[in-house]
Structure 1
Amino acid sequence: MKPIYLALDFPDWQETEGFIRRNKLQGVPVKVGMELFYRQGPQLIEKLKVDGHPIFLDLKLHDIPYTVYKAMKNLAKLGVDLVNVHAWGGSEMIRAAKQGFMEGNPGKNSRLIAVTVLTSMDNRTLSEELHIPVKAEESVLNLAMMAKESGADGVVCSPWEVPSIKRNCGSSFYTVTPGIRLKTDQHQDQQRIASPTEARNNGADAIVIGRSVTASSDPKSKYQQVIKEWNDDNER
């Protein structure tokens, strides 16, 4: 079954644990981002692993290669399933991250992935604010191809860029897609969004969903709806 990573966008462990237990979500794949990790640290990862959660550690490392190498070497020791860097750091930084990743936890069946263009960004942001002369899809593909050549196992991208990435980087190159919303949900601060069904049809390997579930009046029911949309055709 392809994973659905539930974004634990909570300020501390108390709220996180309460949400998981109230909604009987023990053991589901989860994404831990900056807010929670910076507050709770590595101990949080150990607590989640005790409950059997596959973990995507989403810290988007972006610094000089040596700093990222040292940081990734430590993060790899946590034994999470996915950990990421920001592809904008360039090929040398990604290669350094991969070296630290391999040295920190050799033999672990986990993946180093690179963030391409955030799903909160659109073509206007790229052209008018960042002065990047190509559209989001082309920029994402360029970053994905560079990341693969630099040793990354996959990328974070929107569902709409997955087909192009698979064509150019190979079907085994792992694609994780945030910006997932059910049809009835608000877009909030995301721009390049898609439903679980659209992400599945485009060939995504994993999806990330957060506020559509965590801010719902019935998170358990909402999560089950996401599972149904995501897995309907995967199980046939």
Structure 2
Amino acid sequence: MVRGENVVKEYRTGDQTIRALKGIDFRIDPGDSVAIVGPSGSGKSTLLNLLGLLDVPTEGEVRLRGEDVATLSDGERNRERKRTIGFVFQSFYLIPTLTALENVEMPRMLDRTPRKTRERATELLERVGLGDRTDHAPDELSGGQKQRVAIARSLINDPEIVLADEPTGNLDRDTGDRILDLFEELRTEEGVAVVTVTHDDYVAEAADRVVDLVDGELRGETARADGGGEP
């Protein structure tokens, strides 16, 4: 589904050039469960942005269904993101003036099926355990509840890939288990690929493939012994 070959990403800071990714190869297939681990500043967020079509590489290629994303216009990348990718941001990015339900609906606000959007958003909030918080504003929710709203929002467009930055970072273990179970259900029953950036060994152990990213380079990839993906 998504392939990267010899991917380099550089940023300019004043008169310096920072090379965040140093010629890495990667792939995400339908139904994959991948955890990206590594220390702060290793390039994990940069890689997540490339996978999510929020950025394009400085060198090398990122291909979505065989098409080089660098050849797409901004509008085309926006449409592909909406159609293909769900994001779970570590900072939530909930709109404070909207309810939990409206925040989940937000990516589909301009669609012409408001009734179906409302039904889908309600169902997703129930799946993440917030069926009784649909009319609450973000400032009426705990950090863990905001995280679950963000997770529900990432699923509103039935994405093919979910990209999650520390998806359990604000959750207690029981709630984190529920979210990981939901990701596993999406993966095994609906073929959704789930990619997490995490410092939590517990989350990494739940993934089929663990990618170790250090200083912009892939230092290793392991597959779970009970049937995970190929290394």
Q: Which has the higher strand share?
A: 2
Greater length-normalized contact order (CA 8 Å, ≥ 6 residues apart): 2
TM-score by length of 2: 0.39
Higher fraction of helix: 1
